[in-house]
Every structure is written in structure tokens, then in C-alpha cells.
Amino acid sequence: MLFHVRMDVNIPADMPADVANEIKSREKAYSQELQRSGKWRHIWRIAGEYANFSVFDVESNAELHDILIALPLFPYMKISVTPLCRHPSSVRDNDA
């Protein structure tokens, strides 16, 4: 199942820099692990914002939920999820 996910990050301004950096380091390692596994297929920064658009390829809504709540930055995120399916006009056969 494919999902388009927007993640907007809002780290509190009063969070100590060393704490924020440690959380971001764990976030990067976790997200790269998911990218290598194929579950996090795409990640795109939204220019001018601390936000991204991502595409996940997972087995279920529950798996996506578990992945998202395990993100180290999850407590500081607003997340919106849109399920995706292949468009019949697509010229690519490997979109599924």
C-alpha cells in the first residue's frame, strides 16, 4: 500500500540544541534504515519549511502508523496521510 505523508516539524524553541541534535540524529538514522528497506520510498524537502513530503510503501495502515509513531521527531510533528493507488493513465508499469 502506498501512502503520501506530509510531515511538518515544530521543535520547541526552548529545547536545548544538544537535545534537538540528538533527536535529529536518531531521526536520520531511522529514516535512512526505512529508506534502505524500501518502506520509505521517497522523501522530499518542502522548500522554505521544516517539512517534507514522503511516500511510504507498507503492508497496512497499522504498519504505517507504527512507523510514524516510532519517529524520534513524532512528538514535534503534525502529520497528514493520504492513501495512494495507481492511476489508470500512468505510463509506468512499476508504480504500484
Segments of 24-76 assigned E as strands: 40-45, 51-57
Are 24 and 73 in contact by the 8 Å Cβ rule? The answer is yes
Model confidence pLDDT, tens digit, residues 1-34? 999 999 999 999 999 999 999 999 999 999 999 9
Model confidence pLDDT, tens digit, residues 59-75? 999 999 999 999 999 99
**Domain annotation for the chain: domains and CATH numbers:** 2-84 (3.30.70.1060)
Q: How far apart are CA 8 and CA 77, in angstroms?
A: 5
Please state the pTM of the whole predicted model. Answer: 0.91
Are 54 and 44 in contact by the 8 Å Cβ rule? The answer is yes
Task: Please provide residue 13's backbone torsions phi and psi, each rounded to the nearest 5 degrees.
Answer: -60, -25
Model confidence pLDDT, tens digit, residues 41-63? 999 999 999 999 999 999 999 99
